[in-house]
Amino acid sequence: MSRNSDGYKKTTRIVHGAARTGRWDYSHHVVPPLTASATFRLESVKRGARGFTEFGSFSGADSAEPVYIYDRLDEPTRGLLESQLASMEGADFALAFASGMAAVSAAMGSLLESGDEVIAHTLLYGCTHSLLTNWYPKLGIKVRRADFTDPAAVAKLVGPRTRALYFESPVNPTLELVDLRSISEIARKASAGRRRKVYTIIDNTFATPFCQRPIEFGIDMVVHALTKNIGGFGTDVGGAVCGPKELFPAVMGYRKDFGGVLSPKAAWSILVYGVPTIPLRVKRQQYTALQVARFLSQHPLVAETRYPGLESFKQRDLALRQMRDFDGGFAPGNMIYFRLDEKKASGVEFVDHVAKNAYCVTLAVSLGHTKTLIEMPSAMTHSAYAGEGPMREHGGIRLSIGLESPVDIIKDLERSLAAVAGRRRRA
Ligand SMILES: Cc1ncc(COP(=O)(O)O)c(C=O)c1O
C-alpha cells in the first residue's frame, strides 16, 4: 500500500513519492531496486489473459496491482518514475519513452490521423521542426505554423480539421513565453460541439515541472525530454508524455506498438537521482543564471540578453504569472539566450574561444546538466531550420546554467569576450 502523502509538500513527495506502492512487491526497500526483467512469470494462462485484457486501460491508483507481462508494455521501476512524473505535473498519467523525441512523436502521433491538421509554433526544437516538416506531410498530416506568442494568430488558423496545438514555453532557444491560459482557451472553444476534440500539447522541457505546471493552466498534454533537467546529471536519455486519462489508452498503445519505451535502467537513475534533486538543482541554477544574465546584459559586446528572471525581460509579467515553483516562488529556470553585437565581436569566434579555453563552460548541445553548457543553435540544435524562418535573424548563443559557482562561469565568459573583442580591434 502507498502511505498517505496528503498534506505533504511536493518537494517532500518527490523524495518519497511512490517508493512504496502496490504496483510492486519490494516495499521494504528504501531505494527502489533496479529491475531488469524483460519478461514476467504469469503463473497461469488465466493471469496472462487478464494482463492482456487489462493492458492499456487506465487504473490510475498506485495501489492497483498490475499484471506485468513484458517490459515494453509496463514495468515496475519505470512505473514508479511515471507515477512521480504524473504527480509533479498534476496529470492523470505519465508514460516514459526512450528519448524526448520519442515522447514528442508519441504525443502528436497518438492523436493525429491522416487528414488532420496540427498548428505549431514557428520556432521549435530542431528535431521537432524536422518531424513536422519532413515526416508528417508524408503521412497526410497538414502542419500549419503560427506565432503562439500572439494567441489571436493561432485562433485565426484553427479550422475544422485542427486536432492539435503544439508549442514550447519557454521556446527553445529564444526563450519567448506562450500564454498557456490563452492557448488552452482557444482549444476549449474550438472543441465545443466537436466529435474529436482539439488538444493542446506543450513541450515543458526548458521549465521542468518544478518551474511550470501547464495542466494547471488548462493545457492537455505535457511532453518532456527527461534527458535534460529532470534527469539532471546528463547520464541518460529519456522522455515522457503526461496527460488526461482519456488519452492514456492511445499513448500507451502507441508506445507498445512503436516501441520507443524507456529502459528500466535509465528510469532508475532518473527516479533515484534526478527527480528528488530537481528543486535543489534548479534553485541553485536560477540563483546563478540571474547573476550570469545580469553580467551579460551589462557587457558592452552583448547586444541582447534574454532570461525570464531579468527585470528587463520582455514578457516579465507573463513569466511571473506562469513560472512558479512548488511553493509558489518565481521560477524562471536555468536557460539564457544572448547575442553579441556582431559589429564588435563574432559570436562564432567567442563560442570557439570558450570551447578551447574555458574551464567550466563546455561547448556541447543538450541542457539541464550539472555542468554549464554553451552552444550556437543556428549551427547546431536548430540546424534543421537551415538559417531560415525564425532562425534567420538569430546568431544567438544558448547557455544552460549548471551547478558551478556563478563567479567562475562569469570569469570564463568574461575572458573569452575580452579575447574576441581584442581580435576585432586588431583586425
Ligand atoms: C525542448 C526539447 N524538446 C525535446 C528534445 C528532444 O530530447 P531528446 O534529445 O531526449 O530526444 C530536446 C533536445 O534537446 C529539447 O531541447
412 alpha carbon to ligand 1 midpoint, in Å?
26
Residue 2's pLDDT is what? 47
Q: Is residue 205 in contact with ligand 1, taking CB distance under 6 Å?
A: yes
Q: Is residue 375 in contact with ligand 1, taking CB distance under 6 Å?
A: no
Where along the chain do the CATH 3.40.640.10 domains lie?
A: 10-277
Buried b (16+ CB within 10 A) or exposed e, 407-427: eebbbbbeebbebbbeebeee
Buried b (16+ CB within 10 A) or exposed e, 366-379: bbbbebbbbbbbbe
Q: Is residue 231 in contact with ligand 1, taking CB distance under 6 Å?
A: no
| pTM of structure | 0.96
Question: Which atom number of ligand 1 is nearest to the Cα of residue 239?
Answer: 10
Q: CATH fold of 278-426, please? A: Aspartate Aminotransferase, domain 1 (3.90.1150)
The DSSP output letter for 169 is S
- Contacts made by residues 382-385, CB under 8 angstroms, sequence distance 24+: 382/123, 382/125, 382/126, 382/129, 382/172, 382/173, 383/126, 384/126, 384/127, 384/129, 384/130, 384/133, 385/126, 385/129
Residues in the chain predicted with pLDDT less than 50, given as ranges, are 1-2
Q: Is residue 208 in contact with ligand 1, taking CB distance under 6 Å?
A: no
Question: Which atom number of ligand 1 is nearest to the Cα of residue 101?
Answer: 11
Q: Which residue has the cell 509533479?
A: 88
10-277: what CATH class?
Answer: alpha beta
Where along the chain do the CATH 3.90.1150.10 domains lie?
A: 278-426
- Protein residue with its CA nearest to atom 6 in ligand 1: 100
110 alpha carbon to ligand 1 midpoint, in Å?
19
